[in-house]
Amino acid sequence: MSALCSLRISFSVGLKGVRSYAPASVRARGLATIANEGQAFSIPVINFSKFRNAATPTEKRRTADEIVTAFKRSGFIYLDGHGIDSETIKGAFAKSAEFFEMPTEVKSTLAWEDPRSNRGYVAVGRERVTQSADAEEIAQLRAKAPDFKESMEIGRDWDSTWKNQWPQERDAPGFKRTMLDFYQSCHELHVLVMRSIAIGFDLEENFFDQKIDEQCHNLRLLNYPPVKRAQLQKDGQARAGAHSDYGSLTLLFQDSVGGLEVQNPHTQVFHPATPIPGTIVVNVGDLLARWSNDILRSTLHRVVAPPLKKISETESITPGRQSIAFFCNPNFSAEIACLPNCHGADRAVKYPPVNTGEYIVGRLAVTYN
C-alpha cells in the first residue's frame, strides 16, 4: 500500500453540493485538510467574493490576511467566489477538448518552437518538468520517463514579436475567441489576487498593478491521455513531474478526475489536491517567492495518474484528464527584488534582483527538447 493510502483524509469546503468528510470543528474553519501523523497540512478554501465585494478596507484586509497566511504556510489555496462565470470555464474546457481531438498532423503544424515565445502545441513526451536546471540531466529524465501529457500554450495576442499559433477557424471553430476572452478573465483575477497580497503585506493596494499590466502570461491547455499500466511502471514516470511554477501565481482549473498532488514543505510528503467544484486552485510561483524573500512559499507539486481501471486480464488503464493552467507572470521587463518590508535585521535578503523575462526563458529553455 502506498504512503498516500495510509493517510487520514478530511475535507471541509463549505460549498453547496460538495460532500464534507471533516468533523464540525474542522468544517467551521473552511479547510481542506490532510492530517499526517499529527501534523496537519491544509489547503484552505477562501471565499474571494468577500474581497471583490468588500465595502470597507477592513473587509478587504480580512480576506487578504487569509490569503497571505495560507501562502505562507502551504503556498496553495482553493479560491471560491472568484468571479469567473462557470459557463465561461465550461466553454474553455469544451474548446480545449475539441482542440486536442484534432488530428496529430494538424496540431503538429502549430508546434512550440522557442522558449522566448512559449507558444504553440507541445506533443506528448516533449516536456519534462523538474526542479533541475541542468540541461543534460533533464534530457536524461525526458528520455527515461517523459511527462505523459500534451499541451497548447497561448500568450498575449497583441505581441509584435511573438505570435500565437492559432488553428484555422475551420479546424477549431470559436477556439481563438474563447481562449482570448478566457485569457483576459484570468488576467483580471490575477490583478485582484495580487492586490490582496499587497494589502496583506501592508503595501499600497495597487503596488503590483504596473508590474503586471503588460499581461506577459501563459495560458496552458492540458490534455493527459489515458495511460496503460505498463507505461506507468517506468521508473520515474508521471503525468507531470514534481516542480514549482516560475512566475507570480498559477490559476489551475481542474476537471473531476484529479491527480494534482502538493508537497508538504515540512515533511516532503505529497498530498492530493482533490478537485472541489466551483473553485480554482491558486499557488505561489518562484518569482513571487523571491519577491517576498521566501515568506510566501513556491511549493513543489506534481500530477500523478488516478486509479487504474482493468480493461483485460493482463492490462489496466487510467482515465484521461483535462486541466487548464493560467501562469501569471510579472512584466518581462520587471526587476524582481526583495519587497521593502520582507527583510531586516533578523531576515537577510536571500536572492539578488532578477529580470522576469530572463528568469522564465532560462527555466523554459531547459525544460523542452
274-298 pLDDT tens trace: 999 999 999 999 999 999 999 999 9
First to last CA, the chain: 35
Q: How many residues does the chain have?
A: 369
Model confidence at 126, pLDDT cuts 50, 70, 90, reads low
Q: Residues 125, 127, 131, CA angle at the centre, nearest 5°?
A: 130
Note whether 355 and 334 are within 8 A (CB): yes
From CA 22, how far away is CA 43, in angstroms rounded? 14
From CA 281, how far away is CA 194, in angstroms rounded? 15
178-196 pLDDT tens trace: 999 999 999 999 999 999 9
Q: Across the chain, where does the E strand assignment appear?
A: 8-11, 31-36, 39-47, 76-80, 120-122, 150-154, 218-224, 240-243, 249-254, 260-263, 270-272, 280-284, 301-303, 309-310, 316-317, 321-328, 335-336, 354-355
66-76 pLDDT tens trace: 999 999 999 99
Computed over every residue of the chain, the mean pLDDT equals: 83
**For the stretch 151-190, what's the b/e string if a residue is b when 16 or more beta carbons lie within 10 angstroms of its beta carbon?**
bbbbbbeeeeeeebbbbeeebbeebbebbbebbebbbebb
Note whether 238 and 148 are within 8 A (CB): yes
- Identify the sign of the CA torsion 103, 120, 277, 238: positive
**Domain regions of the chain by residue span:** 44-367
- The CATH fold assigned to 44-367 is Jelly Rolls (2.60.120)
pLDDT at residue 132 is higher than 80 = no
Q: Specify the pLDDT at position 40.
A: 73
15-26 pLDDT tens trace: 333 333 333 333
pLDDT at residue 79 is higher than 60 = yes
